[in-house]
Amino acid sequence: MKKQSYVPSGDLVDLLLDAICVVDKEGRFVFVSAACERIFGYTAEEMVGRNMIELVVPEDRARTLQTASDIMAGTSKPSFENRYIRKDGQIVHIMWSARWSADDQLRIAVAHDISERKHSETMQAALYAISEAAHLTKDLPGLFEKIHSIVGELLPAINFSVALYDEQNDQLSFPYHIDEHHPAPAPHKRDAATLSAEIIRTGQTLLLSPETLTTLPEHVQAIDCASLYWLGVPLTSHNGTIGALVVQSYTHGARYTDRDKELLQFVSTQVASAIERQQMLSRLQFMAQYDQLTRLPNRALLHDRLHTALTRARREHTQLSLLFLDLDKFKQVNDTFGHAIGDLLLQMVANRLKQCIRESDTVARLGGDEFVVLLEDFQSPDHALLVAEKIRLALNQPFDLNGQAHRVLPSIGVAFYPQHGDDAHQLLSHADNAMYVAKKSGGNCFQIMLEPSPR
């Protein structure tokens, strides 16, 4: 008995989950199946006659046109991927299987929506990249830049900010801010009428758009927002809300949806952990290299900078100078006013010393009331002597210690490279000895020694 063949009806095509698209050689849709509306958001009537390249994400258009050219030249493309912009503005990832019908002069393609798979892959890749950035970047600016790049792979992030909240000082600042139109906002308190402060106060994600604005509380609607779309998520850790990630857009071409909100929320915990780790490393590095009282470089960092300066001076045949400074009768301040006042005086001295030097120079605290100033890249030894006198005069100006004026009389020893030593130990020893001679001479002066003098 002969088997009866089955000829599917045209309606069967419309039952397929994948979409069938037929495009002429000019790139215009001439037929699309019903699944196109589910995938692209447009009805068949809206798509037919339209050039397909108009729906492709701009970054993928050149590659898509080249692939179309290859297909029309007879090359089969069973698994070509690109991205389309849906009618609602969202991005959809498509895997195409396409061939060219020479008889009909048409490209016949099947579109398979792989957005969910791409979403999962992208999220896993983002989490891995954030974790990697947390361990490989050397500082917070580098970490913020890397996070910006990672978030930009998930959603439109041309305008991107990181806000950090310092609870101890009640200050919200913006250490990373990239924006097409506006500079970084000034630091402000948590109770300020800003969108970022609202996120810190509530710990809740905030999405502003023309569609959502009227659904938000009145006090949020009243906050001035220059962008058309604004999305911010809290950075939350076991210590509470430490900041916020913010993206914004000034055009309808880059809008934010609930899906984008979920994406940013998903990575925010990992980002918060990465920021806290970098902050902890920064604090540890600071503790290892800086004096905790005056926040000046300590002995270890001074030696590191001095060795670097000496290497540069040898290579470039330049001079450098060390000023070794001691505060005369500092012990009397501690004995008379107490150690708290003594610490305050040391902090004041540190601030005045920093005002006496250039940014390229270094002032360090060795301990107690001993300070060292490293001067680089000057033309004449007179420069070091002028700085020494400037320091002496600055410290001679009265300090207000609990309402009482107090003057500090410094003894300063000066040493030069290469005249007084070829290495760090020799220079420090020579400057220290010169300082001791200045102190024996009555103090409140600076001294240069031609030869080392034992104590």
What would you report as the CA-atom Rg of the chain, rounded to the nearest whole angstrom?
34
343 tagged catalytic: no
What average pLDDT does range 108-120 have in this prediction?
Answer: 90
CATH 3.30.450.20 domain range(s) in the chain: 16-113
State the pTM of this model: 0.61
Q: Phi/psi at 108 (nearest 5 deg)?
A: -115, 125
Contact present, 455 and 433 (Cβ < 8 Å): yes
pLDDT over 90 at 267, yes or no? no
Domain 118-287: assigned CATH number: 3.30.450.40
Domain 299-448: assigned CATH number: 3.30.70.270
pLDDT for the residue 455: 42
Domain 16-113: assigned CATH number: 3.30.450.20
Give the chain's mean pLDDT.
89
Give me the DSSP letters along 257-289. Answer: -HHHHHHHHHHHHHHHHHHHHHHHHHHHHHHHH
pLDDT over 50 at 453, yes or no? no
pLDDT over 90 at 215, yes or no? no
Query: Residues 348, 352, 354, 357: what is their CA dihedral angle, to the nearest 10 degrees?
Result: -160
pLDDT for the residue 454: 46
Contact present, 317 and 430 (Cβ < 8 Å): no
pLDDT over 80 at 379, yes or no? no
CATH 3.30.70.270 domain range(s) in the chain: 299-448
Q: pLDDT tens digit string along 140-198?
A: 899 999 999 998 888 888 999 999 999 889 999 999 999 999 999 999 999 999 999 99
Say which of 291, 326, 361, 369 is annotated catalytic.
369
Q: pLDDT tens digit string along 327-356?
A: 988 888 887 788 888 899 999 999 999 999
β-strand partners of 101: 106
What average pLDDT does range 40-57 have in this prediction?
Answer: 94
pLDDT for the residue 82: 93
Using DSSP bridges, classify how beta strands 206-208 and 370-376 pair: parallel, antiparallel or unpaired.
unpaired
pLDDT for the residue 385: 93
pLDDT for the residue 171: 94
pLDDT for the residue 332: 83
pLDDT for the residue 15: 66
Residue % of the chain over a pLDDT of 90: 57
